[in-house]
Amino acid sequence: MPSLPTAPGFPPYRMRRYGGFWHIDMYLKFICASHACFRPRPTDVLLASFPKTGTTWLKALAFSALNRAAHPPSPAGADHPLHRNSPHDLVRFLELADQDGDGLIYEEVPSPRLLATHVPYSLLPHSITGTDDGSGGRIMYVCRDPKDTFVSFWHYHEKTTATLQQMADVGGASEAMPTFEEAFELFCQGQSAEGPQWRHTLEYWEASCRSPDKVLFLRYEDLLLDPPGSLRKIAAFMACPFSPEEEAAGVVRDIVELCSLGTLKGLEVNRRGSTMLGLKNDAFFRNGTVGDWSNCMTPAMAARLDGIVAEALEGSTLTF
Ligand code: A3P
């Protein structure tokens, strides 16, 4: 690791470049640990995303759909794990779940396991990506317009800087908080956690084109347009489609309502609680709209980022 290039990044931590992507230095060793320890099961579902693209929502939807027999998406007032836990504590990140590196945390999760990751496709454990026979489990990826992703990142970091600073003091030097313009430049250079975003998304896009049964590609914008339709797609991909009886009973509607931004944001656990990693839950819920970038970025900034993305994706079938 010491031989890998380092640079300041946004979020403002020391970044290290590995495998064509920039990683927060203090987390890179956990990516390597997961390669050594993680043993996939055929029933695993891995929720993959670039940060700030809808990870929290996808975790809530997938968890609620997969566990609806044990935990019905009950009417208001009845108990559900999402009422008491952040989606991030119900679905743990593969690369952060096992900081002791002995693989035990993954083993303790009963099948079918739901896990999450921000790691690029090409840097996932080979045991997940190296086979097409189903033994590596399935992957759902959510993507989002880079302009909204950056703006979401910016607001998130305004809220979490103090906590992340404390974590960085333990795990590695952090950098001074950049201005909005400086952060934007770093994001454009790809110097963001698991960046550049467009390359991250392109890898999962290409994997979903090669193996649509293994990798489901979703868009945050589509989830917002049609939450019930997206939820049906998610459940079918996890091999637990909704039955006609469940449809008639309004289970889809109830899960969509339970996982909506309004519901989750209003819960006590998400207003005042913190995740197991010590991050304030409320930082994960903001306004959840498409096009919020236009309230923060100049047209010139937007055109610059669009241009960088278009150039990077030239020759591919991916569009944002
Ligand atoms: P905004 O900052 O644009 O509002 P992530 O979960 O990957 O960290 O992404 C965070 C973004 O998803 C934030 O976007 C947040 O508001 C939005 N989000 C979180 N929960 C959501 C939900 N249940 N429905 C819709 N959007 C949600």
- In this prediction the pTM is 0.95
* Angle in degrees, CA 81, 84, 85, rounded to 5: 80
- Name which residue sits closest to atom 20 of ligand 1, judged by CA: 57
Between the CA of 141 and the centroid of ligand 1 the distance, in Å, is: 15
- Name which residue sits closest to atom 8 of ligand 1, judged by CA: 52
Phi and psi dihedrals of 4, rounded to 5? -80, 145
pLDDT over 80 (residue 162): no
ipTM of predicted complex: 0.99
Q: Which pLDDT score, from 0 to 100, does residue 107 have?
A: 80
Quote the CA–CA distance of 225 and 227 in Å, as a whole number.
6
Q: Which pLDDT score, from 0 to 100, does residue 65 have?
A: 98
Q: Return the number of other C-beta atoms located less than 10 Å from residue 110's C-beta.
A: 5
Q: For the domain made up of 8-165+174-311, give the CATH fold.
A: Rossmann fold (3.40.50)
Q: Which pLDDT score, from 0 to 100, does residue 240 have?
A: 97
Catalytic residue among 23, 71, 80, 118: 118
Between the CA of 104 and the centroid of ligand 1 the distance, in Å, is: 30
Between the CA of 288 and the centroid of ligand 1 the distance, in Å, is: 5
Quote the CA–CA distance of 307 and 287 in Å, as a whole number.
26
pLDDT over 60 (residue 87): yes
Q: Which residues line ligand 1 (CB under 6 A)?
A: 49, 51-57, 60, 148, 152, 155, 259-261, 264, 284-288, 292
Q: The tokens of 141 are what? A: 């990826």
Across residues 288-307, what is the average pLDDT?
97
Q: Which pLDDT score, from 0 to 100, does residue 264 have?
A: 96
List, for residues 167-222, the tens digit of each pLDDT value: 655 454 456 778 999 999 999 999 999 999 999 999 999 999 999 999 999 999 99
List, for residues 230-248, the tens digit of each pLDDT value: 999 999 999 999 999 999 9
State whether the Cα torsion 53-270-100-63 is positive or negative.
negative
- Name which residue sits closest to atom 14 of ligand 1, judged by CA: 288
Q: Where are the domains of the chain?
A: 8-165+174-311
- Atom of ligand 1 lying closest to residue 156 CA: 2
- Atom of ligand 1 lying closest to residue 260 CA: 23
Q: Which pLDDT score, from 0 to 100, does residue 95 have?
A: 85
Quote the CA–CA distance of 214 and 237 in Å, as a whole number.
9
- Active-site residue flag, 118: yes
Quote the CA–CA distance of 318 and 137 in Å, as a whole number.
24
pLDDT over 80 (residue 9): yes
Between the CA of 320 and the centroid of ligand 1 the distance, in Å, is: 17
Quote the CA–CA distance of 220 and 230 in Å, as a whole number.
10
Mean pLDDT computed over every residue of the chain: 91
Q: Which pLDDT score, from 0 to 100, does residue 152 have?
A: 97
